[in-house]
Structure 1
Amino acid sequence: MSVFEDTLTIIFSVVIFFAGGWVFFMKKLFRDYEVHHHTVQLIFSVTFALSCIMFELIIFEILGVLDAGYRFVCWNIALITMLIFVIIVIPFYIGYFIVSNIWFVRKTFIKPLSFFVWMFFLYFFWKVGDPFPVISSSKRSLRVLSMEQGISRIGIIGVTVMALLSGFGAVNYPYVSMAVFMRPVTYGDIQLIERKLMQTMDMIVVKKKRIALMEREAGARRNRHSRQSSASGVWSMLKSVASAATASSSENLSTLKTEVTALEEFSRQLFVEAVELHTMVDRIEWSTTWQGKYFNFLGYFFSIYCMWKIFISTINIVFDRVGRVDPVTRGLEIAIHWVGLSIDFNFWSQHVSFLLVGCIVVTSIRGLLLTLTKFFYAISSSKSSNVIVLLLAQIMGMYFVSSVLLMRMNMPAEYRTIITQVLGDLQFSFYHRWFDVIFLVSALSSIAFLYLAHKQAPSADSKFNSY
C-alpha cells in the first residue's frame, strides 16, 4: 500500500471511531441530561477514537496492514496525542468545571484557579511513579517530558484500574450468572413480604393518627390551663393533677414517636427485601431460558478461570515470576512438540494471535463502556455530569494505554517490535507483577464480600415479630 492509501485508511478509521464515541456519548451518557458543554463531548469522543486506533494498530501489526515505517509514525502520533489529553487537556478541564461549579468563585478567577488545580494534579501524577521501578535504571535521567515518563505513570494508574475491575469481574460474573448462587424464591415469599409491608404501613398510619390526636389534645389542654392560670384554691389542686396527666401524656407521645421511627425503618427494609425478591424471581425465570443456560455454562467456565488466575497470580507473586513466552507461542509449541501435530507455525501464530487479540480488544472496550455507563448513571447529576464524563474519559485513556502495555505480552515476539520501540525502555515485567498483586487482592476481597452477602440471612421475620 502507498502512503496515500495508508493515510486514507487511518483517516477513515479515525472518523468511524470518533463517530462511535460521539453516538455513545449522546445515546448513553447524556440520555437523561442536557449537554452543558460541547467541549466535553469532543474530548470524550477524541479519547475514545485514540483508544480504538491503538487497538487497531495492534491488529495491523499482526496482519501486516500498512507499511512498517508508517505504523511506527501512527503509533507515535496516537500515543503523544493520548498523553496530551490524559496529562494536560482532560485534567485542566476537570479542574475548570469543578471550580466553575463553586458558587462563590468569580468568573475572573476560574481560569487561574483551574490552572492551579491542574498543577496540583501534575505534581501528584509525577510523584506516583517515584516509588516504582517503571523505567530501566539506565534511563532514570530521562527528561521530564519524555514519552517513557508519561506512559510509565499512566501505566501504574491504568494497570491498577484494570486489575481491580478484572478481579471483581472474574468473581462477580459467575456469582450473578450461575443458578447455584440464586436464592430459592417463590411468589408466596413475595406475597408474605408484601403483606408484612402493608401491615407495617397500616401500623405506622394508626400510630401517627394517635400522635396527631394526642398533640391536639395537649394543645387544647395547654390553652385551658392558660385561661385558668389566675384561679386559686381548688383550681390549684386540679392544676397539679392536670400537670401530672400532661407529663404522662408527653411520655406516651415520645414513646409513640420512637415506635413510628422504628416502624418506618423496618418498612424500608421490607421494601428493599421485596424488590430483591422480585429481582431474584426474574433471575430464576431467566435462568430457565436458553440464554440463561448459556450464561450459566459461561459462569462455570469463568469460575475455573478465576481459580486458575488466582492460583497463577499467587505463584507469580511468591516466586517473582513473569511469563517470557506469549500464550499463542506456548500453545503452538505444545501442539507441535508434545502432541505431535504437523502444522505451519507462522500461519497459525498469525491467525491465532489475531483471534486472541481481537477477543481481548472487543471484550475490553465493551466491558469498560458498560462499567462506565453504570458508574455514570449511579453518581451523575445535571451539575456534575460534565466532571463525571471527563473523569470517565481520563480513566478510559489510562485504561487503554495500560491495555497496550499488558497486551504486548500476549503477542508473539515478531509482532511486538514496533510497540516496544514506541513505548520505550519500560520495565514491562513490573506491570505484569503489579497486575497480579492488585488482581489477587481484588479477587479475594470480592470473594469475601460476596460470600458474606450471600450467606447473610434475611432477618425480616424476626424484626416483624418484634412488633
Structure 2
Amino acid sequence: MSFSSCDESSCAPPTKFSLATLVSLTPFLATFGIVFIVSTTRLFPKLSQFGTGNGEVDDGEDHFLPASAPVSLKQAHHERYLARSSTRRRAAAAAFGATVGLATVLAELILAEIVEVVDPRIREVATRGTIGALVLLLVIVIPALETRSFIDAVGLGNWMRGEGRKGLKRFAWAVQLLVFGGWLAVFWMLGRAVPEGKDSHDYMLRENEGSFDASAVTVASARGASVEHGGFLNLGPGGLSRACLERIGVIGVALMALLSGFASVSTPWHTFIDDRAYKRRPVTDADIARKQVGLDATSEMLVTKRHRLRALERKLEASSGVSQSTSGLMGKMIGSLKGIGGAGGDAAEIKALRVEITGLEAMEASLQSSLSLLRSRQAAHARDGTVMGKLFSLPTYGFSIYCIYRILATFLTSLRRGTHPYSSFSSSDPINRFLGLIARHWDPKLDQIAWARQISFLLSGVILAASANSVLQTFHLFARLAPGLLRQAQANLALIIGQITATYVIAAALLMRSNLPHEVGRSVSDALESALEPAFVDRWFEGWFLIASGLTMLGIFIGRQIRASYVGGWDELEELDMEELGQKRS
C-alpha cells in the first residue's frame, strides 16, 4: 500500500525532546498554566462552596457549629475544616485544574491543526502528552478521588483514617478497592460497544467517497478490521492508549447524549408549563424567609444529633478497649455488668440516632432544594418584568421549540433506520445543514455531511449550556425524590464538571478526526490513533439521547403525580415536616 501523503513532515523521525522543543511548546504550556491557576483559585473554591451547601458543621474533631453561628466563627470553623482535609482537597483541586487545563490545551491543538499553525512535529508532541495525561486523570486519578468521597458518604471514612479497630480499617480499604475495581471493570467492558472495523470501514468509504482524501480513515479502519474489540483483555493494534481513548470516546458521546436529552426535555417543560404555573403566584420574600427558617432549624437539630452520635460512638470504643484489655473470668463479668448497666442501651440509642439522622439529612436536602428553586424563580420573575427580560424571552421560546423538534426528529430518524440503516438526524437537521453549508463555502473540499454530524455533536454542548438553569431546576426536582443523589453530586461537583469537560473535548476530537481533509495534517489523528466511526456515533448518540429524554419525561411525570397527591404540593408537606420538627425541638 502506498501513501501519497508521505511528505517531509509526516514521515520525519520522531521529534526528540530538547530545549528548542520546550520553547516551541511555550504557548501551550502558558495556556495550561493560566487555566490551571484560574481553575484552582477561582472556579474550584466556588464549586466546592456550592457543593457543601451551608458549610461543614463538623470539622471531624467533635467541634460542631450551628447554622445560626456568627459569620466570623463560621469562617474560623471552615478554615479549621480545610486545614484538616487539606491533602484530599488539594488533590481534588489539582486534579480539577489539570483536567480543565489539559482539555483547553487539547481544544487549542485542534484549532491549531485546522488553521495549520505551529510546527506539525511540535503539535504531535504536545497532543500525545496532553492525551496521555488526560487518559491518566479520567481513568485513574479522578475516579479514585470520587471513590474516596463515596466511602466518606457511606460512613466508612473514619475507619480508613484509623478511628477504630484494624479490622474495620481493612474492611473500609477493601470496600474502596472493590468499588474502584468495579469502575475499571465497567470502563473496560465498554469496549464491547465499539463495533468491529469491517462494517464501519465500508460505510466510511461509501460516505466519504468523492468528498475528500480518506486515506487516513482507510488506514485506521484497515488496521482495526481484523481486531475484535469486544474481548475483555484484547487491547487491539493501538495498545492500551488506543483502547482507553475508544472507551473515553464512547463515554463522552453517551454522556453528552444523556445531558442534552435531559436538557431538551427540561427546557420546554420549564418554559411552557412550570414557569406559567408559578407566575400565577409569584414568590415573595416571606416564602423564602419561612423556608430559610425551616432549613436552619433542621440543620441545628442535625448538628445536635450528630454530636450525640459521635459522643456515644467514642464511649463505646473506649468501653470495648477496656474490655479487650481485661482477660479471663473477671473480664467476662465486667462485660456482662456493662451490658446490664447501659451499654446495650447506648447501642440502641446509636441505632435510633442513625435512623433519625438519615431522615433529617433527607429533609435538609429537600429544604435546600426548595430554597434554591424559590430564589431562582424570584430572580427570574423579577427579570421578566424588565425590558431585557422580555427581549430575551423570545430566544428562550424559540430554543424550547427547537428542543421539541430535535426530540421528535431524532425519534423519527431512529424509526427510519430500520429501512435506511445510514440515516441520521445530523443529515436532516436544518441548523446542522445550514452550518454545514457555511463550512463547505469556507472550504469546498470539506465534506458537508461529515461536518453536519460534527456540528450536531457540538450543538449538544450548546443545548446543555443554554438550558443550564432549566437543567438545574429539573435536577432539584429529582433530588426531592432521591436526596442522596443531590448530596453525592454536590460533594463531587468540581470533579464531575472536569470529567464532563475533558470527555466532551476528547469525543469531539475523535469525531473531528474523520471529518478533516487529509491535507490538513495527521498529528491529531496519529495521537488519537483511532476514530469513532460515524455510523456507530449516530446510533450511539441518538439511542442514549432518546433514553435520556424518555426517562426525564417519566421522572417529571412521577414528580408531578407525587406533588399532586398533596393539596398544597411538596411545599405543604415540608411545612408539616417543619411543624413536627418544631414539636420535637420543644
Shift of 1:13: 0.6
Which structure is richer in relative contact order (CA contacts within 8 A, separation 6 or more)? Answer: 1
Name 1:213's counterpart in structure 2: none
* Among 425, 433, 436, the residue aligned to 2:539: 433
Within 5 Å, give how 1:4-403 maps onto structure 2. Answer: 6-22=24-40, 23-30=42-49, 32=55, 34-35=81-82, 36=85, 37=88, 38-96=90-148, 98=150, 101-105=156-160, 107=162, 109=170, 114-115=176-177, 117-133=179-195, 136-140=224-228, 142=236, 145-177=239-271, 181-183=275-277, 185-186=279-280, 283-318=380-415, 319=417, 320-321=421-422, 331=434, 345=443, 363=462, 389-390=494-495, 392-403=497-508
DSSP 3-state at the match of 2:195: coil
Of residues 445-454 and 10-19 in structure 1, the stretch that sits farther from structure 2 once superposed is: 445-454
**AA partner of residue 40 (structure 1):** A
* Among 525, 534, 549, the residue aligned to 1:443: 549
Residue segments in structure 2 that go unaligned for 5+ positions in a row: 1-19, 57-80, 163-168, 198-223, 229-233, 292-365, 573-586
Q: Deviations over 1:45-79 (max 9, x none)?
A: 11111111122222222332322222222221111
What is the distance in 2 between the residues matched to 1:383 and 1:333?
Answer: 40
Tell me if structure 1 keeps the 8 A contact 2:48–2:491. Answer: no
What is the distance in 2 between the residues matched to 1:416 and 1:14?
Answer: 23
DSSP 3-state at the match of 1:130: helix
What is the distance in 2 between the residues matched to 1:128 and 1:115?
Answer: 20
Tell me if structure 2 keeps the 8 A contact 1:186–1:281. Answer: no
Residue segments in structure 1 that go unaligned for 5+ positions in a row: 198-268, 338-342
Cα pair distance change 1:374/1:80, threshold 3 Å: farther
Q: Deviations over 1:108-141 (max 9, x none)?
A: 7476765554333322221232254276442335
**AA partner of residue 242 (structure 2):** E
Cα pair distance change 1:391/1:357, threshold 3 Å: closer
Shift of 1:448: 5.1
Cα pair distance change 1:305/1:384, threshold 3 Å: closer
Q: Deviations over 1:426-463 (max 9, x none)?
A: 44221232111111222244345546767976863799
What is the distance in 2 between the residues matched to 1:120 and 1:452?
Answer: 31
Cα pair distance change 1:326/1:277, threshold 3 Å: closer
What is the distance in 1 between the residues matched to 2:467 and 2:371?
Answer: 31
What is the distance in 2 between the residues matched to 1:359 and 1:4?
Answer: 32
Of residues 2-11 and 359-368 in structure 1, the stretch that sits farther from structure 2 once superposed is: 359-368
Shift of 1:80: 1.0
What is the distance in 1 between the residues matched to 2:370 and 2:141?
Answer: 45
DSSP 3-state at the match of 2:118: coil
What is the distance in 2 between the residues matched to 1:143 and 1:336?
Answer: 34
Shift of 1:181: 4.8
Q: Deviations over 1:4-32 (max 9, x none)?
A: 65311111111111112212002332464
Shift of 1:83: 0.8
**AA partner of residue 422 (structure 2):** R
What is the distance in 2 between the residues matched to 1:414 and 1:177?
Answer: 46
Shift of 1:40: 1.5
When the two structures are superposed, what TM-score results if normalisation uses the length of structure 1? 0.62
Shift of 1:90: 2.4
Cα pair distance change 1:404/1:86, threshold 3 Å: same
What is the distance in 2 between the residues matched to 1:171 and 1:450?
Answer: 9
Shift of 1:395: 4.6
DSSP 3-state at the match of 1:138: coil
Cα pair distance change 1:366/1:65, threshold 3 Å: farther
Cα pair distance change 1:20/1:423, threshold 3 Å: same
DSSP 3-state at the match of 2:192: coil
DSSP 3-state at the match of 1:48: helix
Q: Deviations over 1:318-359 (max 9, x none)?
A: 32336698999964885799xxxxx6646999xxx9xx7998
